[in-house]
Amino acid sequence: MSVITVERKILEKNDEIAGENRALFARHGVFVINMVSSPGAGKTSILERSLERLKGELKVAVIEGDVQTDLDAQRVARYGVPAVQIVTRGGCHLEANLVRDALEQIDLATIRILIIENVGNLVCPSNYDLGEACKIVVASTTEGDDKPLKYPSMFRNASVMIINKIDLVPYLDCNVQTLKQNALSINPALTFFLTSCRTGEGIAEWCEWLKAKADSLPS
C-alpha cells in the first residue's frame, strides 16, 4: 500500500512540474512533442530526417533521453541545432523535472519547436507528462501489428502514430492495415504518418504537420 501512495505522490509531483513546463512553453509560443517508442523503432532517425527538412524554415531544439549514452545527442548535434542529453543512469523514462533542468540550457525565445526524445520503452514513459503538447508514438513495422493491443496505455495517450520502416513491409509478416485498426481500437483519435528514413517516404508530410502546429501558436 505504501508503494502505491509513494507512486501516486511521484506522479502528482511530476504532473505539477509538467504543468509549469507547459506554461513556460506557452509563454514562448514553442510547440513541444514527446517522442516515445520501443528501443530501435527509429525515433532518432526520424528526428535526423526532420531536422534536415526543417533546416532554415523553423528553429528547432532537441532534448534526448537515454539510459546510458549520449550517442543520440551527438547524432542530432550534427544538424546544428541545440541538443541537450539527459542520461537517466538506468531510469526507464523521462520525468518533468529532468526536462525542466535541461531547459536551463535552451533559449526558448529563439526556437519554435522542441522535440523531446524519450527513453526507448513502450510502457513506463506513458504515465509521465513532461509538459508536451502531445505524445508521438513511433511503431516500427518490424515489431508486428499487435503492439497497440499489447501496450495500450502508450497508444491511448498519443495523438500521433508514426508507422516507421515502411520500406521493410515486403519482407515482413506485418499488415499495416491491421496495425492501424488495432491502434484505432485503442485510440480512435490517432493521426497516422507512414515513414521510411531510408527512402524518405512520409517525412515531408510529417514535417508539414509539425510546421502547421508550430505556426498555429501565437509567437
If one asks whether residue 122 binds its own copies (CB under 8 A), the answer comes out as yes
Distance (Å, whole) CA 43 – CA 195: 11
The overall longest dimension of the chain from CA atoms, in Å, is 53
The grid cell for 10 is 511521484
How many chain residues are in contact with its own copies, going by CB under 8 A? 40
The nearest distance, CB 81 to its own copies, in angstroms, is 21
Q: Select the residue interacting with its own copies from 38, 50, 118, 157 (CB under 8 A).
A: 38
The torsion defined by the Cα of 97, 99, 102 and 106, in degrees rounded to 10, comes to: -130
Helix (H) or strand (E) holding 13: helix 2-28
8 A C-beta contact, residue 146 and residue 171: no
If one asks whether residue 187 binds its own copies (CB under 8 A), the answer comes out as no
Q: Select the residue interacting with its own copies from 2, 177, 216, 219 (CB under 8 A).
A: 2
Q: Select the residue interacting with its own copies from 143, 163, 183, 206 (CB under 8 A).
A: 143
Stretch that binds its own copies, among 77-85, 86-94, 101-109, 205-213 (CB under 8 A): 86-94
Q: If we measure between CA atoms, which residue out of 6, 5, 25 comes closest to residue 130?
A: 25
Q: Select the residue interacting with its own copies from 69, 74, 105, 178 (CB under 8 A).
A: 69
Q: Select the residue interacting with its own copies from 48, 66, 95, 117 (CB under 8 A).
A: 66
Stretch that binds its own copies, among 97-105, 108-116, 151-159, 210-218 (CB under 8 A): 151-159
Distance (Å, whole) CA 73 – CA 83: 6
If one asks whether residue 97 binds its own copies (CB under 8 A), the answer comes out as no
The CA–CA distances, whole Å, from 179 to 44, 76, 162 equal 22, 29, 11
If one asks whether residue 23 binds its own copies (CB under 8 A), the answer comes out as no
Q: Select the residue interacting with its own copies from 67, 77, 106, 190 (CB under 8 A).
A: 67
The grid cell for 130 is 513532461
Distance (Å, whole) CA 101 – CA 166: 36
Query: Which residue ranges make up the site for its own copies (CB under 8 A)?
Result: 2-3, 6, 10, 38-41, 66-69, 71, 90-92, 119-124, 140, 142-144, 146-147, 149-153, 165, 167-168, 171-173, 198
